[in-house]
Amino acid sequence: MRVKMKNRQTLPPGVPYDTPILTPHGWQNVSDVSVGAAVTSGNDGSPVKVVAVTDRATVPCYAVHLADGSKTTASAGQPFEVWRPNGRSRTVVDVETMARDCIHISPGGAVSRRYAIEGVDVTTPPAAPLPLHPYVVGALLTAGSLGGTCNHTGTPSPFSLHVANHAALETLLPLLPPNVSFDQYRSGPCKYFANTATLKQLFEDAHIFGLSSAGRHIPQKYLDHGGIDLLRGLLDFNGPMIRNATPSFINASATLVRDVQTLVRRLGGRALQSVQDAGSGFDTLRIRTNQTPYAATNNAALWTQIKSSRSCHRAVCDVSLIGDMPVRALEVEGGVFMTGDYIKTGAAES
């Protein structure tokens, strides 16, 4: 595949050898990807075959930065499918073209971004059933006490869930394992689980047992396979809507915040991170997805009623030259594949 530049010169496509490529089995450097291997399609997230590989000597390469903090690297001639700011027109440009005019400054000094890249849902089904439903894991990670030992007394910590939204609790109850329930003799927003021995084993199997508030993260198998159900559990229990019905996620664990951002990218959405309060230690994500990010009826109804009509594409905010280096060009079925930070590249076959 070759892409014509505006000046009608032809530049070779490719990505540097250390560029990560998404495959059905995880990330691989492009240097390890060969003909016949399966990679993840940038069109619909399905597995597709590599049909040709071309190695090239040193060529100019660039770092492509998106507004949500994600980035990838590519040669000057590597094509990208991009959307215009209105989200209604799509075109294909090479990296050097993006570097030249990705930012527009009006005569009045206003700065606008010319290009945005569409996300793709790359969630895959698990090979075996997950120990706990992804929605339950999302709720527990953001609003649960996950056991372990109490720092002050040295005694075992209880298994509990803080519930501020009754509709979210009603959504969660049918998804609990049949041998797990809440202690019916306790009232209030803090719900204590019964069957603690069973819960401990389930939490261990899900790799969430004993996680402290600051040490919370999404276990890899749930990040890969939890999908929209996992995000809905996280947001129903800790995802207030802010400004124009934009879902948000606020947490003290920087690792969990980064994992939620990765989850949103895997779903084809975008999550912009900002510090909520310089002295609070909490970070905030502002989230946009194509799918409803809530399952609780009250949250989902509100989001559907007043959601923003703006797209969840990720804007290209900077394209900078990083130097000359060897590259490998991939030709895949369908023409488009996924590079680092879930950024798709290539041009769809017509």
User: What is the CATH number for 110?
Assistant: 2.170.16.10
What tokens appear for 231 in the block?
A: 């995000």
Cβ–Cβ under 8 Å, residues 249 and 231 = no
| Judgement on whether residues 67 and 146 belong to the same structural domain of the protein | no
| Judgement on whether residues 53 and 145 belong to the same structural domain of the protein | no
| Judgement on whether residues 177 and 319 belong to the same structural domain of the protein | no
Burial class (CB in 10 A: 0-12, 13-18, 19+), 172: buried
Domain CATH number, residue 188: 3.10.28.10
Whole-number pLDDT of residue 121: 96
Which amino acid is residue 227, in one-letter code? Answer: G
Strand, coil or helix: 135: helix
Whole-number pLDDT of residue 7: 39
Alpha carbon distance 292, 312 (integer Å): 12
- Looking at the domain assignment, is residue 126 inside a domain? no
Strand, coil or helix: 95: helix
Whole-number pLDDT of residue 165: 86
Q: Which helix (H) or strand (E) holds 301?
A: helix 297-306
Whole-number pLDDT of residue 230: 98
Whole-number pLDDT of residue 52: 96
| Judgement on whether residues 197 and 53 belong to the same structural domain of the protein | no
Whole-number pLDDT of residue 193: 82
- Looking at the domain assignment, is residue 128 inside a domain? no
| Judgement on whether residues 104 and 191 belong to the same structural domain of the protein | no
| Judgement on whether residues 189 and 296 belong to the same structural domain of the protein | yes
Alpha carbon distance 31, 118 (integer Å): 25
Whole-number pLDDT of residue 53: 96
Residue with tokens 């609003």: 143
| Judgement on whether residues 177 and 299 belong to the same structural domain of the protein | yes
- Looking at the domain assignment, is residue 247 inside a domain? yes
Number of domains in the chain: 2
| Judgement on whether residues 262 and 341 belong to the same structural domain of the protein | no
Cβ–Cβ under 8 Å, residues 27 and 338 = no
| Judgement on whether residues 109 and 18 belong to the same structural domain of the protein | yes
Whole-number pLDDT of residue 51: 97
| Judgement on whether residues 274 and 320 belong to the same structural domain of the protein | no
**Buried b vs exposed e over 231-267: b needs ≥16 C-beta within 10 Å?**
bbbbbbbbbebeeeebbbbbbebeebbbbbbbbbbbb
Q: How far apart are the first and last CA of the chain?
A: 12
HSE at residue 284, side-chain half, CA atoms within 13 A, is 14
Cβ–Cβ under 8 Å, residues 22 and 342 = yes
Whole-number pLDDT of residue 294: 94
User: Any idea how long the chain is?
Assistant: 350
Cβ–Cβ under 8 Å, residues 63 and 73 = yes
Whole-number pLDDT of residue 5: 39
Q: For each of the chain's 350 residues, which pLDDT tens digit applies?
A: 443 434 334 678 999 999 999 999 999 999 999 999 999 999 999 999 999 999 998 999 999 999 999 999 999 999 999 987 655 678 899 999 999 887 765 566 555 678 999 999 999 999 899 999 999 999 999 998 888 655 455 456 678 888 888 899 999 999 999 888 887 555 677 888 877 788 889 999 999 998 988 899 999 999 999 999 999 999 999 888 776 668 899 888 989 999 999 999 999 999 998 755 545 567 889 999 989 999 998 888 888 876 655 578 899 999 999 999 999 999 999 999 999 999 999 987 75
| Judgement on whether residues 240 and 329 belong to the same structural domain of the protein | no
Count CB-CB contacts under 10 A for residue 166. Answer: 11
Domain containing 65: what range? Answer: 3-119+314-346
How many whole angstroms from its chain centre is CA 8? 36
- Looking at the domain assignment, is residue 276 inside a domain? yes
- Looking at the domain assignment, is residue 124 inside a domain? no
Whole-number pLDDT of residue 159: 84
pLDDT in tens, 187-230: 677 888 877 788 889 999 999 998 988 899 999 999 999 999 99
Compute the Cα dihedral for 36, 41, 44, 46 and give only its sign: positive
Whole-number pLDDT of residue 86: 56
- Looking at the domain assignment, is residue 39 inside a domain? yes
Compute the Cα dihedral for 114, 115, 116, 118 and give only its sign: positive
- Looking at the domain assignment, is residue 125 inside a domain? no
| Judgement on whether residues 143 and 252 belong to the same structural domain of the protein | yes
How many whole angstroms from its chain centre is CA 211? 22
Whole-number pLDDT of residue 300: 87
Strand, coil or helix: 302: helix
- Looking at the domain assignment, is residue 127 inside a domain? no
